[in-house]
Every structure is written in structure tokens, then in C-alpha cells.
Structure 1
């Protein structure tokens, strides 16, 4: 059996379009950019460039992992569609990773030394003061399941009253600096970006456990139904 296990990771839950390629847990390459509405035009190009630059063929890929949501309805739909198409064409398994869990993994990777009484709250913007959020400890144990939350000044008081320090990060946290800027028990980390590289350890763990999705029936975790809007009529 080959020691090479190439896993392609796709992250499209936010405006960041990101693709990584790893061998087991070794990151071989990364392609990503942040620009609104770029997923449809850039995702397959990034994948082709990445596979070519890493010197492998598509037939060498062992599995495709995709960020399943929550997040942008359109972004998730494109990412999952491309991931399923690759898995069908290459006859390889599909792995899904919760987008917020991957963000927490990424934060821990970048911040190795953290206190014990810490609550990590990755957030994805859901417009206005609403966010998609979950809560994890520093071992990635889920403390609060993924949900949609309209944030106000008391949203995390149940943690701070118990002596926990709360860290907010992600596109949903970028708009909360003014709200929690003077709060000593809450840190708002600005500019944190989703990345397919954050998915790599989680995808490898699922690959080892053979925790695969049914390609035919798998759908993104939208959390909320898509609501189409129409422009107002001009008279």
C-alpha cells in the first residue's frame, strides 16, 4: 500500500476561495484569494494550478474534503458541487468538515499557547448583527453547537460570568470591535480569514476513520434557508 495519501481541501464558506493539497498532514500547496463572487470562476482554476504545481496527477488524489458550512449559500453550493464532481469522476471518497470547526483548528494552529479557561467562538457573517457561531475549548471540544445568533452586548455573558475568556474571530467578528472593544473578558480578533489549510488535520482524521459522505445525497449545511430578493420596481 502506498504511503502517499493526497487530500484536496476546498473552502468556499466565505468570500475567501481557498484550495489546499496535502500528503497525510503535510501541506504541499495552497491557492487562495479573497474577493466577492469569485468562487464560480476561480475554484476550478485554483485546483488545476495546485495539482500541476505540486507535481501530481488527479488520479493520485485519495480524497476530497470540503467545507460544508455554515456560510455563504452560493459559496457552499459551488464548493460542494465541485467536490462531488471530482469524487464522482475520480471514484474517491468525499469528506465534509464543519466550517466553524475548521476555523477553530486554524486559530489553534496559529496560537499554540493558550490559557485553559478559554472559549473559542469562530464566526461567519450572516449580515447586520447576525452571525453563524459555535463555541469550542482549546481541545476543539464543542461547547455550544453551531447556530445563528443576533449579537448584542450580553451574548457571551454566560461565559464571562463563569470566569472564561472569550475569543471572537472570523468574518462575523470583524464587525464587533466597537461592541466589545472595552470588554476585558472578550477579545475580538480582526482580519481572521478562512483557509483550506485549516481543514487539513480534520480531513486527515476523518480519512483515517473512513468517515465519508454519501456523494449522491450529501448537501451543504446551510443552517438557514436561502431567501432570494428581488429589486424594487422603479416607477
Structure 2
């Protein structure tokens, strides 16, 4: 089993190849550059470096959002195209779950992955390893960071926050949670594409034609259009 993982859902761009229980290769950058231009060369490079061709692939795993509307769409479109053309399974994994996966494995407690959603809002959720599996204690949601901090403060236990956008909201968490707000190291802030591949390794494939991203909220342009139509 050779799995290709693709994540372009936020600023970090990541691709990985795993085979059985081994990570063959992993490529990550955290740059504000056009993913649509860079993702295919990244995939080609990692395939060539690992001595693999598309004929070797048995599954595609993609980060399906939330995150950047354009970024999520790029990764999902490429993943669907590859899965359909190669006639292999496609699996979608929450981008927040991918971000939480690595740090959660080594933290005794809850992990809250954070993506900035502008205007004081964050995409987040609450994750924990239970019986060896990563579990969503609170499903992914869009909320004000101050409201999220208040809810987590009521748990009265340490929460590990992870994500490159934490500096934008750190003050809100520290103010309401005090020492119970724990922050991951810089080396843990990028979602790992190898974790993405691992999360999707044993999951069943989804229907390629009906598979859609999880934006959690509408793109701003779409929301404005629907508002004008009186539909929201």
C-alpha cells in the first residue's frame, strides 16, 4: 500500500508518501506563495525522489478543510483528479485534525488546533488520543477566539494550542485560561503531511464524484451573493 497525502488547505503546503508502516518522504513549506503553481512540482519531486510512479499509488489522502477557501479547493481538486484517473480510493481528513495529530500524541490532555478565520474568529476543535486513536472531543467549528477561550477555561485543565496563527489569538487564551493555556513549540506548528497520510491509511474511500471540501463557512463572495438573493 503506497499512499500519497496532499495538504494545501492553509499557508503550509505539504505532501507525503507512506508505504505500509514507513514514511518514504515528506515535503513541507510554510510560505505565502501560490499553492496552485507549487503543488504539482512538489508531488512530482517527492515521487521521483522516492522512486515511485503514479502506478504505484493505492490511495490518495487529502486535507479537506477548513482553511483558505482557495487553498482547500486546490488540494481537493488535485486529489479528486488523481484518484479518479488512477481509479484508486480517495479519503478526506479534517485539516484541524491533521494539525492536532502530532502534538496530541505526546500531550496528556486536550489539544486545540487553531486556524485564523479573521475578524477575531478561529477555526478550531478539541482533540485527544483515546485508546490509540485521535478523537474529536469537540467537532470542528468556527467561533470567536474569546468565546472559545471562555469555554475552554470552564474545563479547568491544561489545553495545548497548536498552529501558526496562535500569536494572533494568544492573548485571549492567556487572559481567560492563565496557566492552563499551553502553547506548542515552533517545530510543532505546521501540519505534517505524513500524519495526514497516517490518519487516512485505514479509512475507507469516499465517492470521488460527491466528495466536497469542508469549508465550515461559505466563501465571502458566495455569502454576499446568497445574502443578496435573500437566501441567508
TM-score with structure 1 length normalisation?
0.85
Q: State how far apart, in whole Å, the 1-side matches of 2:206 and 2:29 are.
A: 27
Which residue in 1 is equivalent to 2:142? Answer: 148
| Residue deviations 1:145-186 (CA, integer Å, cap 9, x gap) | 11101111x533444434321111113423123333461111
Change (3 A) 1:162 1:74: closer
Which residue in 2 is equivalent to 1:165? Answer: 158
C-alpha deviation, 1:190, in angstroms: 5.8
Correspondence 1:75 to 2:75: no
Q: Indicate conservation of the 8 Å contact 1:170/1:190, yes or no.
A: no
Q: State how far apart, in whole Å, the 1-side matches of 2:209 and 2:110 are.
A: 36
| Residue deviations 1:174-201 (CA, integer Å, cap 9, x gap) | 3123333461111133641122122122
Which residue in 1 is equivalent to 2:225? Answer: none
* SS of corresponding position for 2:118: coil
- Structure 1 segment 42-57 matched on structure 2, within 5 A: 42-57=38-53
Which residue in 1 is equivalent to 2:215? Answer: 222
Q: Indicate conservation of the 8 Å contact 2:104/2:127, yes or no.
A: no
* SS of corresponding position for 1:69: coil
C-alpha deviation, 1:105, in angstroms: 1.1
Of 56, 61, 65, 2:57 maps to 61
Q: Indicate conservation of the 8 Å contact 1:173/1:189, yes or no.
A: no
* SS of corresponding position for 2:179: coil
Q: State how far apart, in whole Å, the 2-side matches of 1:55 and 1:171 are.
A: 32
| Residue deviations 1:191-223 (CA, integer Å, cap 9, x gap) | 4112212212211121xxxx1111111111011
Q: Indicate conservation of the 8 Å contact 1:131/1:172, yes or no.
A: no
Correspondence 1:198 to 2:195: yes
Which residue in 2 is equivalent to 1:15? Answer: 11
| Residue deviations 1:100-146 (CA, integer Å, cap 9, x gap) | 1111212134xx3x33xx22111111113211001112332221111
Q: State how far apart, in whole Å, the 2-side matches of 1:123 and 1:197 are.
A: 19
Q: State how far apart, in whole Å, the 2-side matches of 1:82 and 1:91 are.
A: 14
Q: Indicate conservation of the 8 Å contact 1:123/1:132, yes or no.
A: yes
Unaligned 5+ segments in structure 2 are 223-232
Unaligned 5+ segments in structure 1 are 230-235
TM-score with structure 2 length normalisation?
0.86
RMSD, aligned CA: 2.0
How many residues matched? 216
